[in-house]
Amino acid sequence: MICKTINLSDDGVARLDVLAMPIYEPKSRMWQSNERPVAVIVPGGSYLYCSDRERLPIALKFLAEGYQVFMLNYHVGNESDYPIPFRDLAKAIKHIKDNSIEYAIDSGDITVIGFSAGGHLAGTYGALTKNERFQKDMGMTYEDLKIHQMVLGYPAINLKPIAEAIQHYKAFDIVGKLFTTYDEIKDGLAQAHKEMPKTFVFHSLDDNTVPASHVIEYVNHLVKLGCDVEFHLFNEGGHGYSTGDRLSNLDDGIFPTRAKAWLELCFAWLETIRRKDD
């Protein structure tokens, strides 16, 4: 098994933790592929930190489903504004593609999974990959940047009301710099277009951090654009529940009994996409 960390920036902040299973060598290979799909995990943390609860617990779930897993640590705090964390994710995607043989991956089947602020980063990145300014800012081509699916968990994807609230309440100390100002280039809703990666979104009605109305507005916009999107709104769960079980919520009292079903729904959705593409 491959377990290693790749440094993505000179300061050592941006890193990619790799969990990759070997391709087995049985006498008959009929029951397996020579390549595995890719899961890139982008944890949340309000652009102040990268949440551990949304890294390894998620990684283990995707690893068990046959994915080669990559966990991103990106720049936060005062270094979180555009384009820095986006460049971290872009470098991660390019590294994965450049090393597809070593990791035994299908570079045509890359899913980026983001939570909360990580959902903002993942979802906005997915929208920007065809943007010429973004390509220039990243110093990469569309083929370098391209991803195929996005999974967005309770995503802070709708930037304008977030930035306006932070400015109004002068709550600059509770978020990283990216959320403190508005710019269309870093707004996932404003950047969405009809050729977006296929998108799976889940959220909870009782989320007091990212209002459900913000996420519904984003999903509604994708529907109007004609995007391929699936959306699940649970009536309970709150915010930040990750896997929603003891793997990520040991002894802290957060057990959303039904919201954790997002994982089963998500894997079924990904399998449906894979069958259609085949």
Residues 139-157 pLDDT 10s:
999 999 999 999 999 999 9
Q: What is the C-alpha to C-alpha distance for residues 98 and 79, in angstroms, rounded to an integer?
A: 26
Note the pTM of the prediction, 2 decimals. Answer: 0.96
Q: Report the distance separating Cα 19 and Cα 3, nearest Å.
A: 5
In this structure, what DSSP letter does residue 235 have?
S
Query: Is the backbone of residue 154 left (phi > 0), alpha (psi -120 to 50) or beta?
Result: left
Instruction: Copy the structure tokens of residue 262.
Output: 């997002």
Residue 24's CB is within 10 A of a number of other CB atoms, namely: 8
Say how far apart CA 85 and CA 75 lie, in whole Å. Answer: 5
Among 90, 69, 49, CA closest to 2: 69
Residue-level pLDDT at 45: 98
State pLDDT tens for residues 217-268: 999 999 999 999 999 999 999 999 999 988 887 666 666 678 999 999 999 9
Taking only the tens place, the pLDDT of each residue in 51-99 is 999 999 999 999 999 999 999 999 999 999 999 999 999 999 999 999 9
Check: CB of residue 23 under 8 Å from CB of residue 9: no
Query: For residues 112 and 131, what is the distance between their CA atoms, to the nearest angstrom?
Result: 18
Model confidence at 105: pLDDT above 90: yes
Asked if the model's pLDDT at residue 28 lies above 70, the reply is no
Taking CA atoms, 75 is separated from 67, 118, 173, in Å, by 25, 11, 16
The CATH H-level superfamily of 2-21+33-277 is Alpha/Beta hydrolase fold, catalytic domain (3.40.50.1820)
